[in-house]
Structure 1
Amino acid sequence: MSQLSEQELHNLAMNIVGKDLEEQGYEFLGVNSEFKRDPQFVALKNKKLHFVIVRAIEYPYDPREIPMIFLETIKQHALKFDACTFYAGVGLANSKDYELPVSSSEDYVVNYPGLKEI
């Protein structure tokens, strides 16, 4: 059993959010999958610029909880570009036992409440 690294968890969360954005009709202008480099997605929808910050949140933490301290910097940056800023927390847990880490050899459970405007 190989536990996923922070970067691998981040990539998993990025894929989940990326698919959601595509399904909602967002047009990607930039994608940054580097761990802790924000924003992860710069996208257009209805001619409006959107910054999307993605975080992989491991159980028992709540993906709906928005860490406002670090997001304030992103929000200020987005205002310079007249962009909307969204947070996408993706909860991930080992499907056999939530107390175990997410691994490459076992199924996982996703708790993705969707985009939240900040």
Structure 2
Amino acid sequence: MTPLSEQELHQLAMNIVGKEMEDQGFEFLAINSKPKKDPQYVALKKGKLHFVVVRAVRYPENPVVYDEKLMTTVRDHAVKYKARTFYAGVGIANNRDYEMPVHHEDDYVVNYAGLIEIK
């Protein structure tokens, strides 16, 4: 069994966050699917610009805990564009055993609390 790579886990997280944003009426202006190339999403909603940083988080790490220094840097950049800044941490674990890596052949569970605004 082949475990998902960092890029594949990131893509999975991007898809989960992107679908939620689409369902909430966001209009995507730019999408950057490279891990750690921030922000991943630049989007409009009701005429307001949003910067969204996406992270795939492996169990047992907590997906709502973010790198404050990074998010402050992104927020400070967003302010120049009058944009709001959000963090989207997506916890991903193997459905059979949380301690095992997520494999292509396995189901997985998602722990995603939604977009967290950085003020």
| TM-score, with structure 2 as normaliser | 0.97
Counterpart of 1:48 in structure 2: which amino acid?
K
Match of 1:52 in 2: 52
Displacement after TM superposition at 1:99 (Å)? 0.3
Number of aligned residue pairs: give it. Answer: 118
Matched, 1:110 2:107: no
Match of 1:17 in 2: 17
Displacement after TM superposition at 1:56 (Å)? 0.2
Mapped to 2, the partners of 1:86 and 1:4 lie a distance apart of: 26
Instruction: List per-residue Cα deviations over 1:4-41 (Å, max 9, x = no partner).
Output: 11111000000000000000000000000011100000
Mapped to 2, the partners of 1:111 and 1:68 lie a distance apart of: 20
Counterpart of 1:39 in structure 2: which amino acid?
P
Which stretch shows the higher mean deviation, 8-17 or 68-77?
Answer: 68-77
Displacement after TM superposition at 1:117 (Å)? 0.1
SS in 2 for 1:34: coil
Displacement after TM superposition at 1:60 (Å)? 0.1
Point out 4+ residue stretches in structure 1 off by more than 2 angstroms: none
Counterpart of 1:54 in structure 2: which amino acid?
V
Counterpart of 1:52 in structure 2: which amino acid?
V
Displacement after TM superposition at 1:102 (Å)? 0.9
SS in 2 for 1:4: coil
Matched, 1:33 2:29: no
Mapped to 2, the partners of 1:33 and 1:79 lie a distance apart of: 22
Mapped to 2, the partners of 1:73 and 1:106 lie a distance apart of: 37
Mapped to 2, the partners of 1:38 and 1:66 lie a distance apart of: 13
Which stretch shows the higher mean deviation, 68-77 or 41-50?
Answer: 68-77
How much identity, in percent, do the aligned residues show?
61
Mapped to 2, the partners of 1:60 and 1:91 lie a distance apart of: 9
Match of 2:71 in 1: 71
Counterpart of 2:32 in structure 1: which amino acid?
N
Match of 1:61 in 2: 61
Match of 1:81 in 2: 81
